[in-house]
Amino acid sequence: MKKFLIVGLGNPGAEYENTRHNIGFLILDAFAKASNVVFEPGRYALVAEAKIKGRSFRLIKPTTFMNLSGNAVRYWMQEENIPIENVLVVLDDLALPYGSIRIRGKGSDAGHNGLKDIQAKLDCADYPRLRFGIGDNFSKGRQVDYVLGEWTAEEQKDLPALIDHCVKACQSFGLAGLSLTMNQFNKK
């Protein structure tokens, strides 16, 4: 059975639960719910496994805080023997307008501390990622407050449909491959 590791980036704890920085956790929660699986405590992460059409999707939500996400990614890649091309990291992105997504096969960390740590621990930037646009609607010097802030009422209206769209993209990554998934989901 072909295996995939889907990594949702976020911070553990109730105070971060509905923040923009935790969109990776929200997307993986929706993936697990749609697949009728639940997260359980594992090493460095909350872990669930979904099986879809002969594929195994290991879902992880690192419990190490965003800036140390690389430990969980490296551990679960090794534990499950999953090659780097079958890893998809799901994260927030300030540079993209709210609700847009960009899927790429590799890239820079673009200043994102979660990606910086993953790249340092893997010694590589060539892994797929799904960036969810959170926009940049904040005053100068208020970036941290914005990223760690909760969704506005306006954003929350569209959030369930956007999360569902991202879940479909994560599933497509494992079922159809990176190239077809990029072609289909990078349009918006």
pLDDT in tens, 101-150: 999 999 999 889 999 999 999 999 999 999 999 998 888 888 889 999 99
For residues 4 and 82, is the Cβ–Cβ distance under 8 A? Answer: yes
Total number of domains in the chain: 1
Phi, psi of 9 (to 5 degrees): -90, 145
The whole-number pLDDT of residue 25 equals: 98
For residues 20 and 151, is the Cβ–Cβ distance under 8 A? Answer: yes
The whole-number pLDDT of residue 142 equals: 84
Domain that holds residue 54: 2-185
Question: CATH no. for residue 168?
Answer: 3.40.50.1470
Q: Parallel, antiparallel, or unpaired for β 129-133 and 55-62?
A: unpaired
The whole-number pLDDT of residue 137 equals: 83
Reported as a pLDDT band with limits 50, 70 and 90, residue 1 is confident
- pLDDT of 181 over the 80 cut: yes
Decide which of 84 and 144 is more confident.
Answer: 84
For 85-95, the pLDDT digits (tens) are 999 999 999 99
Quick count: other Cβ atoms within 10 Å of Cβ 64?
18
- pLDDT of 45 over the 90 cut: yes
Average pLDDT over residues 162-187: 96
Q: Which residues are catalytic?
A: 21
The whole-number pLDDT of residue 141 equals: 81
